Amino acid sequence: MRGKLVLLDRKTAAVYSSTRRAPDGTHLRIGTWESGGERVVPLTEEEMQEQLHPTPKSKKKGDGDGDAEGGNGEEENAVEVRMVNQIP
């Protein structure tokens, strides 16, 4: 997978496909960034299938999405777009 455009979340070291989407509409996670070797460690087949066919989560009574403004109080992750030369 040389020269593919991927999305890199530096905060979590997660690597996402720039084109494939999960059922919830988010970019599909394809691996983890190894900064020491400047390479992507791909997810296992089971991890990929887990994203494509997620287990439904039950919502408990009183569970909201965070504060009154609709957010959850967490800082939004910044995502970097990067060209990857080599993915094993």
Element (DSSP H or E) covering residue 17: strand 14-21
State residue 42's pLDDT score.
Answer: 93
Helix (H) or strand (E) holding 46: helix 45-52
Q: pLDDT grade, residue 13 (50/70/90)?
A: very high
Q: pTM of the prediction? A: 0.60
Q: What is the mean pLDDT of residues 31-59?
A: 86
The 3-state DSSP class for residue 6 equals strand
pLDDT band at 56 (very low <50, low <70, confident <90, very high): confident
Better-predicted residue by pLDDT, 25 or 61 = 25
pLDDT of 60 higher than 60: yes
